[in-house]
Each structure stands twice: as C-alpha cells, then as structure tokens.
Amino acid sequence: MTATVDAATAGPWRPGRRAGARSAPLPWLPLFPAVPEYGTLCRHLADGGFRHVVEALLPPRAAEAAYRPAASAEPDGAEPGFRVLDGLWLPPERGHDLRRADAAECLRAAARWEASGDARAGAARHVLDRLARAADEDPMALRRLTLYQLSCLLTDEGPPTGAAALALGVDRAEADLLADAVAAGFPPPGAAREAAEELADAHRAHHLRRARRLIGTIPAASADPGLARLRSGIDTAFRDVARELADAARHTAAGRHRAAATACLRAARTVADDEAARAALLAAAVASGDSGTTAPVAAVVEAQGGVRLSWSAPGRAARFLVLRWAEADGPETAVEVPVPAPAEGAIPAPRAGTHVVRDPEPPTGRVLRYAVVPWDGRRVAGIARATAALRVTPEVTGARAVAVPDGLRLRWRPHPAATAVRAVRLDAPGGGTGPRVDCGPDGLTDRPLPAGSHTYLVTSAYPGEDGEPVWSAGQRVTGTAEDWPAPVPGDVALTTTKDGRVSLGCRLPARGEARLAVWRGRAPEPGEDVSQALPGLSFLHGEGNGRAATVLPPRRAALRVTAVSVLGERAVAGPSALIETLGEVADLTARRRGPDLAEVAFAWPEPAVLVLLRWESGGRREERRVPRSLHGAGPLLIPVDRAEWSVTAVPVARPDATFATSAPTGARLPALPLPRLALHYARRAVDRTAALAARRSRD
C-alpha cells in the first residue's frame, strides 16, 4: 500500500511527526521484543501498574504539572501522545518539541521518579535501568520493545482500533495507522508469542540451536527484518561450527591435539547448546590429557564411593563446569556435576590457584571420565581438561574384627550399589591369598581359628559395562584370635532328695575350668561368649572347684544354673538347668453365676506363667490353661450344670524347666437345687413309678 503526500495539508515538519500519516503505507511490526529477560521486565511493569514501558518513561503524577505537554496543533486542542512509528518520541515538555527516547532520557525519567516520592518509584527504577541498558546496546531497542508491547495489548484487548491505541497513550496522528498494522496480522497469544519472548534470552546465552527452534515457531518470521537478520546470523554460526569441527577432526588424526582442542573451543563458544560441539570439546580434552599435551585433572576415588577432583587454574579465579560421562557411552552423554558454592560446603582449595570438587555419588562399576570446562556464566571460556579413565568400586565401610570363641567375627557396611561381597583370609606365606571364607552382605564368623593375628581381604562386586561383576581392589581387615575355653559338654546333671534339696553337676571341658553359675535373665546359648558378664556372675560352691553343688531352691521362685567354662578373662556358656518351685494356688474360689455358668478366682502363683484349671462332675471332665496375661483382665468363667462340681488349679512349669515342683489346690461348687414346680413333678413321677411297681408285684 502506497500513498502520495498532500503538501497543502502536510503542515510544518517536526521531529517524530509523519507528513501525511493517514495515507502512509502500513509499517512493519516487530514479532519479538529483542530484550533479554523480558519476563522479568514484565513483572516489574506489573509491580508498578504500568501497561507498557512508555508509561514508566513519562513523568509520575506528582510531577505532571511541571512537565505538562504543550497543546497540540490539532483543531480540538487535544494533548499529544507519544509516537512510535518513526522512532520512539515522547510528548514535548512545555515550550519544547518532541523528546526522543534514548538512554539519557531513561536516566532523566528515573531521577524524576526518585524525586517524586511516588509509591511506584522502585518498580519504575527497575524498568528504566533495564531500558537504559537496552538503549545503549541498540538505539532502536526502545522503539521495537514499545511497538511489540502495544501490538500485544491491542491484540489481547479485542479488535485493534484507533480508539484503543489512543487509550494506550499513542498520539492521534499514529493511532489509526498502528491499529491497522496490528489488525493486518500480528500473532495472537499462544506458542508463537511465548517463543518470541524467549528468543532474546536464548540468543544472548549463545543457545543458537534453541533459538533456531524458537524462530521456527513464529509464523511469517520473514516479515520482521530484525528476525530475518537474526536467523541468517544463526545459520552462519552453524556453518562455522561445522567447519571448526571438521578442522578439529583433521588435527586429531594428525596428532595435533592442541590445535584440535582450540578448534573445538571455537565451535563450543559459537553455539553453546550444540551437542556435537560439546562432545568434540570433551573428546579433545581426553585426547590432550592422554597424550600429555595438557595437564590432566587429578581424580581420587574415595573409600565411601565419592570422587575427588582437583586441578590448578593460575590467574584470576573463574567458574568451571564439571562434566561426567561413562567412557563406553561417549562424551555426548556427559552430565553436569553440581559444584557447590563455598557457603554450601565446597571443599577448600589446598593452595592458591587450585580448585577441588567432590562428586558424592558417581555411577559404580563403569569406566568414567570427568572434564573441567572454564565457564563465563553463559558459554565455554577456555580449553577443557579431562581426567584419566577411572572406575568407581567403593569398599565396605566400618569394617572391624572382634574375637569370639574359637575364631573371629567381622562386621562391615556394604555400599548400597554392591551386588556381592567376598572375603578371603590371607594366611599364605608372604601375605598371599589364602582360603575363601563364607560371608554374608554385612559380615562373617570364621571358626575354628588358631590363636594369633589373621588378615582378611574384603572385596565388593558391582555391575560392569557388559553386566559381568567388577570387583573392587579390596579392604584389609585384621583381627587377633585368642585361646578360648571349650564349652562344657553334655547337660547339667540333676538329682533331688526328700528334703527338697537339688544336687547339680557338670563335666570338665576340654579347655579351661567349669563352674556352676546362678544365671539371671535369658539363658545363654551353649558356646556363647559371656566374658563381659564374668565379673558379675554368682558361682555355686561345692566339689570339684564348683563343678558339683547342692542347693535348696527358694519357695515360689525359679533358679537357673548355667555351666560356665572359664579360661583367664574369657568365659563361654555351656548347658543350663531351670529349677522351679511353684508351690500351690492360693485363695481358689468357685461360685455360680447362673444355672450353667460359674466364676473361678484365685491368687496368681509366682513365678508360674500358666495355671492348669480343671473341673469335674459325674464322670465329666474339662480343663483350661490360663496364662498370666489373662489373669485379672476380667472374670474367669467356666461352663457347668446344676450338679455338684469339683474345681482344681495347679501351676504349670515353663517348657524349658528341667525340674519343677507344684501342688494342686481344690474347691467345691455345690449343686443347684431344682425349682419347686420341677420338684413337684419329680415327686409325682416317683409316686407313679412306685404305684406301678406295687401293682405289678400283686399281679
């Protein structure tokens, strides 16, 4: 669309004023704001209640009187608005022409907001500082940004009209033309708009691959000359990357690793998100380190499974990216290892110019490589350096050995990724490999062993690249076996006398001396180490150095006697005997709770754990075992009939008791008389029976 300009109606020309604007061709509209961090800028605008950036450039309400624009030359005398089609021009101050919006005007506007005391001054300052930086970088940035925001507002609020443009502050001379241009095809809200607002950030970070995808999302991108230039520059950058990678491949084939690394660096800096360029950069770092061209990064595998990296970086401190990949998968699969800030627990450098980073949880069992890449916050800043190939196979932790009867017990904590643990005793001459010892995932018990020092090599297995187990180098664990007494063989012999005494005796062990001890608590297993309990044991005195003794068990109590083998400060448990004198149940009573139910009560006979309750009548017999836990929890009820019953209660010894004494206690439950009516009919039945018998006798 073209038009001629009528000189008669054009009027005097002023900066920013179109001559014959109503008949001018439609201007092109920017399809992206071209301002980095556009989302942050929009949040600051919303904080100040600004619809678009020009409202932040205009004076605050408190200063409007001093900066009131001069009346327009329009017939209705309306105040002029801002103009944006021929650059961004702000309304004139009193006695002046239009003001061009540039970096200096942004700073003046910021000063006016600061002096106004307006509540929106903070948000305005954030917006204007960002606008000033954008204007310094590109003189047309403010016009592009304003046009983009106005186009979005006119599209989002309904059909674009000149009145809507006037309401946004656009000058009357450009309002209709701007509305027509927006209506001609500015994209509506959606994916294209979101891509356009992310494009500047992607381009500024040199993420050109992502920027090219975003441009492809914007329809009719060629309608925006700035967008077309940006796409052309991105295509040129990718051609440069391809040429640099081809040069790097030739340098590598010729053994010129330094030149190859430099070419890969140029490629990675050109397109920061190009996977091929990053993979080539890391591969060049590996080749340079393996050939000795560059100093490799030192890597140490820690016992707990972490990897500690250290490298020197002379000069000013810089940021670094630490990348890790499995050598079988290639550097294109590299992932970033988080590098904590010093306040977050970074390992302090051992000396100036040295950087230290720890990878706490690297993959286990596979051959790994690490690379350290200088980083300036947005892209690669220098040639990468790599570690030598390493494999992480963590050892067990917390390994210790303690002496047990006839051998050693080893305990450790396996790594969570370990699939198996193996232990070998190094008893061969010269510390060679000895017999393998059966072990579990967290320890082993090795017996019998001769007294002396014994060393074990404990190794852990992890899945390798081909699925086969990869074993760690192993951790040595040393313990000292001691001479232990042998357990007392057989059982504790027990005989009783008429006066209630009990005679106990045990056999002599193969090593050490045997003694009978009064054991309190759980009975130890034969062969169990009881050395720690030895000082507090109470031994029975009798014949054979305490191997035989006679005791009178206390009434209503349990006495456990254990045969203990003693050799020096070591003691081993042998067989045990439990003697219980339960006595009898006291206060046994039985009373009826109805014609077919009776309640039984008694005092619990300590130390019994069970009481056998039995009730009998006319050849009928029933019984129940009452545990201690149910006694006293509620009334103890038994089923009966109207006949007389005898109730008996006797304490029951524990299942592991060797000898027990107890006595039954009885109670009587009287018969329940029949009701009167039932007695009358019973008597009549007896009388009829007697009369019938007499008649038969006479006959």
Helix (H, G, I), strand (E, B) or coil at 294: coil
Which residue did the predictor score with more confidence, 329 or 659? 329
172, amino acid identity: R
Task: Judge contact between 400 and 456, C-beta under 8 A.
Answer: no
> How would residue 78 be classed by pLDDT, with cut points 50, 70 and 90?
low
Which residue did the predictor score with more confidence, 74 or 693? 693
Per-position b or e across 60-97, b if 16+ CB within 10 A of its CB: beebeeebebeebeeeeeeebbbbbbebbbbbbeeeee
Confidence check: pLDDT of 11 > 70: no
Confidence check: pLDDT of 65 > 50: no
pLDDT of residue 558: 85
Q: For residue 567, how many C-alpha atoms fall within 13 Å in the half-sphere facing its CB?
A: 18
pLDDT of residue 680: 65
648, amino acid identity: T
Report how far residue 77's alpha carbon sits from residue 55's, in angstroms, rounded to the nearest whole number.
22
Confidence check: pLDDT of 576 > 70: yes
Q: For residue range 620-646, what is the model confidence (pLDDT) as tens digits?
A: 899 999 998 888 888 889 999 888 999
Report how far residue 529's alpha carbon sits from residue 445's, in angstroms, rounded to the nearest whole number.
13
pLDDT of residue 327: 94
Confidence check: pLDDT of 665 > 50: yes
pLDDT of residue 249: 95
pLDDT of residue 94: 63
Which residue did the predictor score with more confidence, 334 or 521? 334
* Sequence-separated (6 or more) residues with CB below 8 Å from residue 484: 403, 405, 406, 511, 512, 529, 567, 570, 572
pLDDT of residue 675: 67
Report how far residue 60's alpha carbon sits from residue 529's, in angstroms, rounded to the nearest whole number.
88
Residues of the chain above pLDDT 70, percent: 89
pLDDT of residue 431: 52
pLDDT of residue 66: 42
Nearest-CA neighbor of 386 among 317, 265, 283? 283
Q: For residue range 442-490, what is the model confidence (pLDDT) as tens digits?
A: 999 998 899 899 999 999 999 998 889 999 999 999 999 988 898 999 9
> How would residue 22 be classed by pLDDT, with cut points 50, 70 and 90?
very low
Q: For residue range 524-560, what is the model confidence (pLDDT) as tens digits?
A: 999 888 988 888 888 888 876 778 888 888 888 888 9
DSSP 159: S
Confidence check: pLDDT of 15 > 50: no
pLDDT of residue 2: 32
Mean of per-residue pLDDT scores for the chain? 86
Confidence check: pLDDT of 232 > 60: yes
Burial class (CB in 10 A: 0-12, 13-18, 19+), 341: exposed
Nearest-CA neighbor of 610 among 651, 561, 550, 567? 651
pLDDT of residue 657: 84
pLDDT of residue 41: 95
Residue with tokens 């050939």: 291
DSSP 332: G
Which residue did the predictor score with more confidence, 71 or 676? 676
Q: For residue range 158-191, what is the model confidence (pLDDT) as tens digits?
A: 899 999 999 999 999 999 999 999 998 898 999 9
Which residue did the predictor score with more confidence, 274 or 557? 274
CA 415 to chain CA mean position, Å: 17
DSSP for 393-405? Answer: -PPPEEEEEEEET
Task: Judge contact between 589 and 600, C-beta under 8 A.
Answer: yes
pLDDT of residue 359: 94
Q: For residue range 351-396, what is the model confidence (pLDDT) as tens digits?
A: 557 889 999 999 999 999 999 999 888 889 899 999 999 999 999 9
In this structure, what are the phi and psi dihedrals at residue 425, rounded to the nearest 5 degrees?
A: -85, 125
Which residue did the predictor score with more confidence, 345 or 101? 101
Helix (H, G, I), strand (E, B) or coil at 603: strand
> How would residue 349 be classed by pLDDT, with cut points 50, 70 and 90?
very low
